[in-house]
Amino acid sequence: TNVWPGYEPLYLAAEREDWRGELNIRLVEYPSATEVIRAFRNHTLEAAALTLDEVLTLREAGIPLKVVAVLDVSAGADVILAKPDIQRFTDLKGRRIGVESTALGAYILTRALQENHMSLADVEVVHLDVSAHLRAFRAGVVDAVATFEPVKTKLKGVGARELFNSREIPGEIVDVLVVHAETLGRDRRRLRAMLAGWFRALDYMQRQPMAAARFTARRLKMTPQNVVASYEGIELPDVAENLRLLEQHLPNTLARLQDTLVDAGLLRERQPIDDLLDSTLIRR
């Protein structure tokens, strides 16, 4: 994974479950989604937490993969933040916007521009890994950034103004667990155990929100109160909602998302996507 509150239940599960023995499940954290994608493509990782648009990018690159679970849906946690003197999104015309060099970074900026009747020609895109967003913003290298938690909270702490968030494009930014097709065939037992731990962690977060937040706060270098607040913009689907999303909602979402990415020039052409979703690990 990269650093993102929506993936933190994995780390909470690893803390509470014994995954190190026979299961031998190891979590690897990277500074950015770009590095996660690279590691997955190189088979350094057998599974990865990615956004749906990143999944489509990998599919276009010819990587055989399967989406086996929905981890979270962004409902306000992905944002475009600007300097305090920038009042409206349309005031970003001619300004420098820091964006991670991933499909997600390009996607949220493209959608924000579309929603405000603007285009990429209206702004100057500065490619920055998310780990550099706070530093670049404070140094004045950029006027705005397309970013997400926990950087969102840190930027707001230095006066950044929110101009756009994922609540304005509901259901479009979805984080999923992706595995290589061969891994799904070979390691079903371990993958099922990992997902069982994930759902138990979600249950623990509901029953003991502050205890879970204290654990996550140490990892994300945030206060427990800010951790709890960050989840107000993130939906974490349970087993029943996962099945509904994988089997009913996401096929249409994927098709619409692919159309948007192709139309925006973020994908070259449409690919077959009917076989991407696999709910069998959850539907026992």
Q: Which of 203, 206, 210, 212 is nearest to 225 (CA)?
A: 210
Q: 150 phi and psi, to 5 degrees? A: -85, 0
pTM value?
Answer: 0.87
Contact 53, 110 (CB under 8 A): no
Q: Which helix (H) or strand (E) holds 28?
A: none
pLDDT in tens, 38-95: 999 999 999 999 999 999 999 999 999 999 999 999 999 899 999 999 999 999 999 9
Q: Which of 117, 151, 113, 121 is nearest to 31 (CA)?
A: 151
pLDDT in tens, 114-167: 999 999 999 999 999 888 999 999 999 999 999 988 889 899 999 999 999 999
- Helix axes 209-220 and 8-16, enclosed angle (nearest 10): 110
Take residue 72 and report the two structure tokens written for it.
């979270």
The single-letter DSSP state of residue 5 is G
pLDDT for res 109:
93
